[in-house]
């Protein structure tokens, strides 16, 4: 288990991917872009995920966006890394950050604020699940929440 927190949206619908990413990072500045399996190490981010992924010769690839921040209605996160992971015709979207870079807006705790935002964003994505925990968050033992349910790590911040 690492000190990084990871928020993952599983199986985001292809038809909603560009709009979903646009909503997640609205108002953010993309500091750098990296694409695995691409002919070039770095591509300019223009918000068109499909165009960038189509530039890769592989059926699996990852777009990594280093952001200055994400600023959602209930929470702000400084310097997150957003990854769009394509595999077997599916897409996962993961946001990684350190706990010290999260700040809440209002009186709800940070994980509850993050969960409320994530569940709302899950509806926009058309995805199957959203979960958050210490990296690697796919390990259910390290989770703060899965969808609307609390995970085994609930005493946080």
10-residue mean pLDDT series, the chain (157 residues): 87 92 93 75 67 72 92 92 90 94 80 90 93 90 90 67
């921040």: which residue's tokens? Answer: 69
First to last CA, the chain: 17
Residue 13 lies in a domain: yes
User: How many folded domains does the chain comprise?
Assistant: 1
pLDDT at 79: 96
Phi and psi torsions of 12, nearest 5°: -65, 135
pLDDT at 88: 84
Structural tokens at position 39: 């002919």
pLDDT at 153: 80
pLDDT at 104: 77
Predicted TM-score (pTM) above 0.75:
yes
Domain carrying residue 95: 5-144
pLDDT at 40: 56
- Residue 8 and residue 72: Cα distance in Å, rounded? 16
Residue 155 lies in a domain: no
Per the DSSP assignment, residues forming a β-bridge with 146 are 131, 149
């Amino acid at each position: 288990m690492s000190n990084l927190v990871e928020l993952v949206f599983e199986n985001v619908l292809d038809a909603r991917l560009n709009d979903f990413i646009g909503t997640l990072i609205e108002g953010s500045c993309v500091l750098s872009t990296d694409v695995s399996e691409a002919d070039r190490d770095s591509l300019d981010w223009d918000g068109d995920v499909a165009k960038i992924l189509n530039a890769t010769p592989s059926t699996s690839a990852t777009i990594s966006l280093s952001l200055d921040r994400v600023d959602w209605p209930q929470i702000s996160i400084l310097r997150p890394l957003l990854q769009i992971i394509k595999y077997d015709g599916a897409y996962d979207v993961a946001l990684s950050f350190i706990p010290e870079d999260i700040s809440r807006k209002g009186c709800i705790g940070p994980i509850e604020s993050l969960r409320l935002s994530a569940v709302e964003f899950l509806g926009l994505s058309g995805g199957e699940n959203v979960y958050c925990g210490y990296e690697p968050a796919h390990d259910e033992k390290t989770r703060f929440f899965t969808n609307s349910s609390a995970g085994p790590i609930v005493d946080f911040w």
